[in-house]
Amino acid sequence: MSTKTKASKKIATYSLIIMGMGYIATMPFEGSLWVDLLHGGFEAGLVGGLADWFAVTALFRHPLGLPIPHTALLPKNRKRMSNGLVSVLKNDWLSKESIQEKVKHIPFTEKLIVIIEKQVQTSLFREGLVNLIKKMIGYIEVEKLTPFIKKQIISTLSNVEMKKILQLISSQLLNEKFDKKVLDHVLEKADSWLRQEQTSHRLGTVSMNVIKKIEADGMLQFALKSIQSLLSEEKLGNIVQNLLLSVIKNLQQEGESNREALVLYMRKEIQGMSDNRQLLEGVEKWKNQLLTKWEPDQTISESLQQIQQKALDLVDDKDFIDTYLAPLMNHLLHIIQENSKNIDNWIQKQIIVLVENNHSQIGNLVQENLDKLDNETLVDMVENNIGKDLQWIRVNGAVCGFIIGIFLTGVEALSRLV
């Protein structure tokens, strides 16, 4: 029982004691008008106080422990009172309509933004957020991510259209004039090779062997025999060497017709790479074989571990919050603010649906809590919360009875005089 309830209960008890003592004290002195008035007042005050005491006590228990009818009203009518309380809560004070109507006028995002902006500036919030991010990064299990990433990489590479890749390659080769560069490189290497001393000897030997293997009749046979007798391998090699060097020199000159024809041919071949079916099939086969044999698990795991460590190092950096996190949060808050109406509508709809589906739980919760209390506890709880006002009813009954008693005694005295 609270201190205020105890004090008011004492006052109510004192009022009854005063009325009783006054009534007893004035009994021997009756006969005097003023004493009769006080005696009548104390008598009526005692009756009024006792009557109100009986009425207040009857709400919670049997007065003096006697099973008087229509007393102990709260324990006897507990079920009806709890049902009435639940009904009032569900249908009047916390009805679905009242909750839903109230929810519609709550600016959730506005309140949320104010709270977040205030918390972001505190060091405690910042430290907590950094620790949370570090824990989240640390909880990532690289080994479990590796097979998933490997699968996605292989799937992505398997779906790559090699025709488009060849188109990009051919386009890049043409943009960089790769046809001319390749030709010039080959001609340069050929010129360098032809100018070597052993090259002339090799060319002479090869050319002489070719002439010997040629089968001819008549004049052609005679001409070939004459060449073999007139030219040695060395001379023949020099002739072929000089001839080839001359050809290379001509091909190295810009604008030379044979060079332009060769460059044009190479360009057409490069342009037609993406349409070369045999080349496409070969590249596609090569790609599939490479992906089948490829085992990137360790590389992926090591890369993920490096990324994880770098992320932790980044979060540990003293400028992480001001440089990265704060701008990100400000941007997110700005987005939330711009879409506050839509976000509020969504939150309100979710709460309205939640209330619609679970409104009965409010009454059930109150009913469950009330059912957990025994009669004595429930009576004490009610009496402690409204006991002060109930005790003052007793005081008021005694005081009002005292005043009315004086008035009635006075009226009785006047009637006797008349």
Rounded to whole angstroms, what are the CA distances from 221 to 204, 208, 216, 260, 286?
20, 14, 5, 38, 51
Degrees (nearest 5) of the Cα angle 356, 103, 121? 130
Give Dmax (Cα) for the chain: 187
Q: How far apart are CA 332 and CA 108, in angstroms?
A: 16
Q: What is the pTM of this model?
A: 0.47
Q: How far apart are CA 236 and CA 222, in angstroms?
A: 18
101 in a structural domain: no
pLDDT at 309: 92
Tell me 28's DSSP state. G
If asked whether residues 50 and 113 sit together in one domain, one would say no
If asked whether residues 130 and 175 sit together in one domain, one would say no
Q: How far apart are CA 43 and CA 402, in angstroms?
A: 7
- What are all long-range contacts of 340-348, with beta carbons under 8 Å and residues at least 24 apart? 340/107, 340/109, 340/110, 340/113, 343/108, 343/109, 344/106, 344/107, 344/108, 344/109, 347/108, 347/109, 348/103, 348/104, 348/106, 348/108
pLDDT at 35: 73
Q: Which of 222, 193, 227, 197 is nearest to 210 (CA)?
A: 227
If asked whether residues 286 and 172 sit together in one domain, one would say yes
Instruction: Give me the domain span that covers residue 383.
Output: 3-76+373-417
Q: How far apart are CA 60 and CA 374, in angstroms?
A: 13
Q: What are phi and psi of 335, to 5 degrees?
A: -65, -45
pLDDT at 307: 93
If asked whether residues 178 and 255 sit together in one domain, one would say yes
Per-residue pLDDT of the chain (418 residues; tens, 9 = 90+): 445 455 556 666 767 677 778 778 877 776 677 777 777 777 777 677 667 666 666 666 666 566 666 565 556 666 666 666 666 666 665 666 777 777 778 888 888 888 888 887 888 888 888 889 999 988 888 888 889 998 898 888 888 888 888 888 888 888 888 888 888 899 899 889 888 878 888 887 887 776 666 655 555 665 656 666 666 677 777 888 888 888 888 888 888 888 889 888 888 888 888 888 888 888 888 888 888 888 888 998 999 999 999 999 998 888 888 888 888 888 888 888 888 888 888 888 888 787 777 766 666 666 666 666 666 666 666 666 555 566 666 666 667 766 777 777 777 777 776 6
Give the residue carrying structure tokens 């002439």.
Answer: 211
28 in a structural domain: yes
Reduced to 3 DSSP states, what percent helix, strand and coil does the chain have, rounded to the nearest 5?
85, 0, 15
Q: Exposed e or buried b for every residue in 284-304, given b needs 16+ CB within 10 A?
A: eeeeeeeeeeeeeeeebbeeb
- Domain end marker among 262, 291, 320: 291
Q: How far apart are CA 53 and CA 66, in angstroms?
A: 14
Find residue 30's DSSP bridge partners. Answer: 32
- Domain end marker among 291, 317, 351: 291
15 in a structural domain: yes
348 in a structural domain: no
If asked whether residues 122 and 168 sit together in one domain, one would say no
Q: How far apart are CA 371 and CA 72, in angstroms?
A: 18
Q: Where are the alpha helices (DSSP H) in 27-107?
A: 33-60, 73-76, 78-88, 96-103
Q: How far apart are CA 87 and CA 360, in angstroms?
A: 10
257 in a structural domain: yes
42 in a structural domain: yes
Give the residue carrying structure tokens 């795991």.
Answer: 301
- Domain end marker among 257, 291, 325: 291
Q: How far apart are CA 12 and CA 22, in angstroms?
A: 15
Please write the tens of the pLDDT for every residue from 46-84: 677 667 666 666 666 666 566 666 565 556 666 666 666
Q: Report the number of distinct structural domains present in the chain.
A: 3
pLDDT at 306: 93
172 in a structural domain: yes
Q: Which of 313, 315, 332 is nearest to 126 (CA)?
A: 315
If asked whether residues 210 and 166 sit together in one domain, one would say yes
Q: Are 89 and 363 in contact (CB under 8 A)?
A: yes
Q: How far apart are CA 30 and CA 413, in angstroms?
A: 12
122 in a structural domain: yes
**Torsion 358-362-363-368 (CA) sign:** positive
Q: How far apart are CA 183 and CA 93, in angstroms?
A: 93
